[in-house]
Amino acid sequence: MRAPRLSRPSRPEAEDPVRTTPHRSPSDREERRADAPLRDAELAAAFDRAAASYDRLVAANPGYHSHLRRSARRLRLPDGGAGLRVLDLGCGTGASTAALLRAAPHAEIIAVDASAGMLERAAAKRWPPNVRFVHAPVERLADAGVHGPFDAAFAAYLLRNVADPDGVLAAIHALLGPPLGRLAVHEYTLSGSPLHRAVWTAVCRGIIVPAGSLTGDAALYRHLRRSVAEFDTVGELRERLAAAGFRDVRALPVSGWQTGIVHTVVGRR
Ligand SMILES: C[S@@+](CC[C@H](N)C(=O)[O-])C[C@H]1O[C@@H](n2cnc3c(N)ncnc32)[C@H](O)[C@@H]1O
């Protein structure tokens, strides 16, 4: 293992697919009228500030790492990823990169993030030479020297944060090549059930936003709450992937308190 290079340029598992219908409550609509979610440079700056405490906060979230590992396995990369090129989009402090590496230890993994602070934390960890970090927004991968084709892409907690999720999905679709061309989106995306929406609201109000306030990052964790409430239900996300040209799109659940709140949505080019 050695320190990684850090570039600084300018069939899913046998589970029942999730089937849901969209549902939003009046309180969610009120929430949407409040200040808009953070985007682009403002969001990157918020993640820069939160980077120091990010790993501690997610470690306190039961299932965070095991769910990422499960979603990475759902890419079903053969032979430990030998000979494959894989993208980790919005890699943050490297939690999703570690999950990918566990699922495909022999793959070439290029991990990308727009936040220099989050990426510094990721790059400071120990990684094998087949892992490389690139500082870039996912909207400008080519400018950062990241070119396809890739065999697979993993986007964990990214898509809800970007200004143009359809544009990002189209760009990922174009970067994927045969024969695998697989995508796994791991995301807070609500089932559509009022119960799951209520659990999300309660966890945010009772735990996530107060914990984020203690570390001085209340704005980012309020963004988390709002961005999930405003983003697609899982059924809508499945449709969004299909509209971007992905085939065999399926949504799969995770265990724990995140059931009905976090899903893996997989598809292939
Ligand atoms: C919630 S964190 C998740 C990090 C990591 N994937 C994980 O599972 O722990 C979201 C990450 O996406 C990054 N991000 C948000 N929008 C981005 C964009 N447009 N381009 C690249 N990275 C972005 C943020 O900087 C942040 O590090």
Q: What are 74-108's pLDDT values in tens digits?
A: 999 999 999 999 999 999 999 999 999 999 999 99
Among protein residues, the one whose CA lies closest to atom 26 of ligand 1:
92
**Listed residue (187, 179, 192, 222) closest to 43, CA to CA:** 222
Which two tokens mark 188? 């807070």
Residue pair 242/222 in contact by the 8 Å Cβ criterion: no
Burial 161-200 (b: 16+ CB within 10 A, else e): bbeebeebbebbbebbeeebbbbbbbbbbbbbeeebbebb
C-alpha 93/C-alpha 120 separation (Å) is: 7
Least confidently predicted of 17-31, 79-93, 111-125, 166-180? 17-31
Among protein residues, the one whose CA lies closest to atom 9 of ligand 1:
95
Confidence class for position 37, pLDDT limits 50, 70, 90: confident
Residue pair 67/258 in contact by the 8 Å Cβ criterion: yes
pLDDT tens digits, residue range 212-226? 999 999 999 999 999
Distant-in-sequence, close-in-space partners of 187: CB < 8 Å, separation ≥ 6: 155, 156, 157, 158, 159, 160, 231, 237, 262, 263, 265
**What is the average pLDDT score of the chain?**
90
Full-model pTM: 0.90
Q: Ligand 1 center to residue 47 CA distance, Å? A: 8
Angle value at C-alpha 120, between 119 and 124, nearest 5 degrees: 115
172 in contact with ligand 1, CB cutoff 6 A: no
Which two tokens mark 69? 């590992």
C-alpha 262/C-alpha 269 separation (Å) is: 23
Mean pLDDT across 64-79: 98
Residue pair 117/48 in contact by the 8 Å Cβ criterion: yes
Q: Is the pLDDT at 210 greater than 50, yes or no?
A: yes
DSSP state of 38: P
Q: Ligand 1 center to residue 180 CA distance, Å? A: 24
153 in contact with ligand 1, CB cutoff 6 A: no
9 upstream amide cis, omega within 30 of 0: no
96 in contact with ligand 1, CB cutoff 6 A: yes
Residue pair 261/190 in contact by the 8 Å Cβ criterion: yes
Q: Which of 161, 208, 258 to mutate to test the pocket of ligand 1 (most atoms within 8 A of CB)?
A: 161
Q: Is the pLDDT at 156 greater than 50, yes or no?
A: yes
Q: Which of 38, 40, 43, 158 to mutate to test the pocket of ligand 1 (most atoms within 8 A of CB)?
A: 158
C-alpha 244/C-alpha 265 separation (Å) is: 13
Among protein residues, the one whose CA lies closest to atom 18 of ligand 1:
137
The pLDDT assigned to 18 comes to 56
Helices (H) and strands (E) in the chain, counts: 10, 8
Q: Ligand 1 center to residue 91 CA distance, Å? A: 6
37 in contact with ligand 1, CB cutoff 6 A: no
- Domains defined along the chain, listed by start: 5-20+40-191+234-268 (3.40.50.150)
| Cα-Cα-Cα-Cα dihedral sign, residues 102, 108, 114, 117 | positive
Q: Is the pLDDT at 2 greater than 50, yes or no?
A: no
The pLDDT assigned to 35 comes to 60
71 in contact with ligand 1, CB cutoff 6 A: no
